[in-house]
């Protein structure tokens, strides 16, 4: 399968509440519906992605991200089938402070995450990683292991203030490996055109971060909430919904951008 999103994609968020996990799952599920084998990797100690897919009950699992990161482990032993065609999960526990510290320690070796992901790429076209908000140790480890990074942003003043710090972290990661990660794009999430100051904020985002901004925005579709309540990706629950349709258009735009960059256009 020829797919510009082949490889490792991290969904990052500069500030909380941007819908990062929901968008990671929606994009992964949409790609799975096109025939790609997609692995979702939960690197968030809050285990939001694991929760959205209904696997937070540890009895349904046989280990997760910490076990997969162990030096002598076989990471594929911890991959779960979600029940949705083409969509798998490497889960996380909902961690306390001790677990969070343990995860950061496991990722302190820059080789640990690439070493874990390499054999998984033999079985999956795309690996989508969900990370905590911000530019801490866990997101930075994911950036260094990724081919592409996608950033959802809310059309709110905080988004404008928070983005530069995240972009600086991506630049730092790129200093380690000049070819990766590439910022695939920043896109607006939970778009509500009637919200006060919406046009002003969007104009500011595009003036400050163009050409990183993608044109496609994701509407504030209540079906995202319904999908989360059912532990079911929206593209599988209601593919004709406004939100699911916008995710398809976002991926189409992203693929066009990546093809153009690959061809030098």
Q: CA–CA distance from 97 to each of 1, 12, 102, 182 (Å)? A: 41, 21, 9, 31
Q: Which pLDDT belongs to residue 119?
A: 95
Q: What is the mean pLDDT of residues 117-136?
A: 95
Q: What angle do CA 70, 38, 125 make, to 5 degrees?
A: 90
Q: Which pLDDT belongs to residue 2?
A: 45
Q: Which pLDDT belongs to residue 179?
A: 62
User: Sheet holding 87-90: strands in order across?
Assistant: 79-81, 87-90, 38-42, 126-130, 7-11, 148-153, 182-188
Q: What is the mean pLDDT of residues 164-180?
A: 80
Q: Using one digit for the tens of pLDDT, what is the confidence trace for 58-71?
A: 655 677 999 999 99
Q: What is the mean pLDDT of residues 95-114?
A: 92
For the chain, the average pLDDT equals 91
Residues of the chain with pLDDT > 90, as a percent, come to 75
Quote the CATH superfamily of domain 7-262. Answer: P-loop containing nucleotide triphosphate hydrolases (3.40.50.300)
Whether 171 has a pLDDT exceeding 60, the answer reads: yes
Q: What is the mean pLDDT of residues 157-174?
A: 88
Q: Using one digit for the tens of pLDDT, what is the confidence trace for 182-232?
A: 889 999 999 999 988 899 999 999 999 988 999 999 999 999 999 999 999
Q: What is the mean pLDDT of residues 24-29?
A: 97
Whether 89 has a pLDDT exceeding 60, the answer reads: yes
Q: For residue 153, what are the β-bridge partners?
A: 188
Q: Using one digit for the tens of pLDDT, what is the confidence trace for 130-163?
A: 999 999 999 999 999 999 999 999 999 988 899 9
Q: Which pLDDT belongs to residue 200?
A: 93
Q: Which pLDDT belongs to residue 129?
A: 98
Higher pLDDT, 224 or 261: 224
Q: Which pLDDT belongs to residue 1?
A: 34
Q: For residue 213, what are the β-bridge partners?
A: 186
Q: Which pLDDT belongs to residue 175?
A: 72
pTM of the model: 0.94
Q: What is the mean pLDDT of residues 44-49?
A: 93
């Amino acid at each position: 399968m020829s797919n510009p999103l082949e490889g490792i994609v991290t969904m990052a968020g500069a500030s909380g509440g941007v819908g990062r996990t929901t968008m990671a799952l929606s994009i992964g599920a949409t790609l799975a519906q096109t025939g790609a084998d997609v692995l979702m990797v939960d690197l968030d100690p809050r285990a939001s992605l694991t929760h959205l897919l209904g696997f937070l009950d540890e009895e349904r699992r046989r280990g997760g991200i910490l076990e997969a990161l162990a030096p002598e482990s076989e990471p594929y032993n911890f991959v779960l089938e979600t029940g949705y065609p083409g969509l798998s999960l490497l889960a996380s526990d909902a961690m306390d402070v001790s677990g969070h510290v343990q995860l950061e320690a496991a990722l302190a070796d820059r080789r640990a995450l690439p070493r874990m992901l390499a054999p998984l790429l033999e079985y999956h076209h795309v690996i989508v990683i969900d990370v905590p908000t911000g530019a801490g140790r866990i997101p930075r480890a994911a950036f260094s292991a990724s081919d592409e990074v996608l950033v959802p942003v809310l059309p709110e003043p905080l988004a404008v203030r928070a983005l530069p710090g995240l972009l600086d972290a991506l630049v730092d990661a790129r200093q380690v490996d000049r070819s990766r990660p590439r910022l695939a794009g920043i896109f607006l999430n939970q778009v509500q055109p009637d919200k006060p100051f919406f046009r002003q904020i969007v104009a500011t985002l595009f003036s400050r971060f163009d050409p990183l901004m993608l044109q496609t925005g994701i509407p504030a579709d209540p079906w995202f909430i319904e999908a989360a309540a059912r532990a079911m990706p929206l593209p599988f629950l209601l593919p004709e919904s406004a939100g699911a349709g916008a995710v398809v258009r976002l991926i189409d735009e992203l693929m066009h951008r990546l093809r153009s960059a690959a061809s030098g256009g």
